[in-house]
């Protein structure tokens, strides 16, 4: 099981890495809210442990951005903000569970495993014998490498094309705003013009035409991935 811990406390990072590492889990860490979403997308964890008080970008903002981008990874909020109001805000933003600090590590592990089991039994994605995840029109997203396969052959895509495809694959049939996709495809590049995403979309559209999937432009809304007729 792969966990992503978004937490800026080095002691907490070390404790969870060591404890859960001994229990057969891999724990990736990120202490910066600005970098959290990019790492989330790149690592494709089985669950995310999210602190709310982060440098650079608040945890609720990170969670909201992730859900808007179509990332459906189960999320447990870990925070010292333990009021009922904080819990309601976190859950309404898209969290699946909420555990106030300080917490018991055994309880946290139990909650993680319960969430991952529930996600596996109710999620839209279907795991195949290769360990990849069947997502749309025969395309498969490899959770470890982030590569996308079609008929067991990796699609040859440039990094930005792959970032765009991953974003729409995670939420097929739903429109994702052009501005949101630009942030995912050009992370940290504030100088990039809004039209740049159109160039990436044009190139990607041609490269996935043979799969039967269509990358559709919705004026005023963004892009969505749908099955071709």
Please, what are the averages of pLDDT over each run of 10 residues along the chain (229 residues)?
Answer: 93 94 91 92 89 90 87 87 66 84 90 80 43 67 80 88 88 80 82 85 93 85 77
Q: Tell me: do 138 and 185 sit in the same domain.
A: yes
Question: Distance (Å, rounded) from C-alpha 123 to C-alpha 49?
Answer: 19
Identify the domain boundary among 92, 122, 152: 122
Q: Kindly report the CATH number assigned to the domain that includes residue 38.
A: 3.40.50.2300
Q: Tell me: do 159 and 52 sit in the same domain.
A: no
Point out which residues pair with 133 in neighbouring strands.
127, 141
Total domains present in the chain: 2
Structure tokens at 172: 């097929």
Q: Tell me: do 52 and 143 sit in the same domain.
A: no
Query: Which pLDDT does position 123 carry in this prediction?
Result: 42
Identify the domain boundary among 68, 96, 122: 122
Identify the domain boundary among 96, 122, 148: 122
Structure tokens at 179: 């501005």
Question: Distance (Å, rounded) from C-alpha 20 to C-alpha 34?
Answer: 25
Query: Which pLDDT does position 43 carry in this prediction?
Result: 83
Query: Which pLDDT does position 121 carry in this prediction?
Result: 53
Q: Tell me: do 144 and 98 sit in the same domain.
A: no
Q: Tell me: do 114 and 147 sit in the same domain.
A: no
Query: Which pLDDT does position 225 carry in this prediction?
Result: 85
Residues in the chain: 229
Q: Kindly report the CATH number assigned to the domain that includes residue 196.
A: 1.10.10.10
Query: Which pLDDT does position 131 carry in this prediction?
Result: 52
Q: Could you list the residue range(s) of the whole structural domain that residue 209 is in? A: 126-227
Query: Which pLDDT does position 199 carry in this prediction?
Result: 93
Question: Distance (Å, rounded) from C-alpha 166 to C-alpha 73?
Answer: 14
165 and 156 in contact (C-beta within 8 Å)? no
Question: Distance (Å, rounded) from C-alpha 185 to C-alpha 31?
Answer: 21
């Amino acid at each position: 099981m792969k966990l992503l811990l978004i937490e800026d406390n080095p002691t907490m990072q070390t404790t969870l890495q060591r404890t859960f590492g001994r229990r057969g889990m891999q724990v990736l860490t990120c202490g910066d809210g600005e970098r959290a979403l990019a790492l989330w997308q790149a690592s494709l964890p089985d669950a995310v442990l999210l602190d709310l008080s982060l440098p650079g970008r608040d945890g609720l903002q990170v969670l909201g951005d992730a859900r808007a981008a179509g990332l459906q990874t189960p999320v447990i909020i870990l925070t010292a903000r333990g009021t009922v109001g904080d819990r309601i805000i976190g859950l309404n933003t898209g969290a699946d569970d909420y555990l106030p600090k300080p917490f018991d590590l055994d309880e946290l592990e139990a909650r993680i495993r319960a969430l991952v089991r529930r996600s596996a039994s109710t999620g839209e994605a279907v795991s195949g014998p290769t360990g990849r995840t069947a997502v749309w029109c025969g395309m498969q997203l490899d959770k470890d490498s982030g590569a996308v396969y079609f008929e067991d052959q990796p699609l040859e895509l440039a990094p930005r094309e792959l970032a765009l495809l991953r974003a729409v694959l995670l939420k097929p049939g739903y429109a994702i705003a052009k501005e949101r996709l630009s942030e995912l495809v050009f992370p940290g590049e504030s100088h990039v013009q809004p039209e740049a995403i159109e160039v990436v979309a044009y190139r990607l559209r041609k490269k996935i035409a043979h799969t039967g999937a269509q990358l559709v432009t919705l004026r005023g809304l963004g892009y969505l991935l749908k099955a071709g007729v």
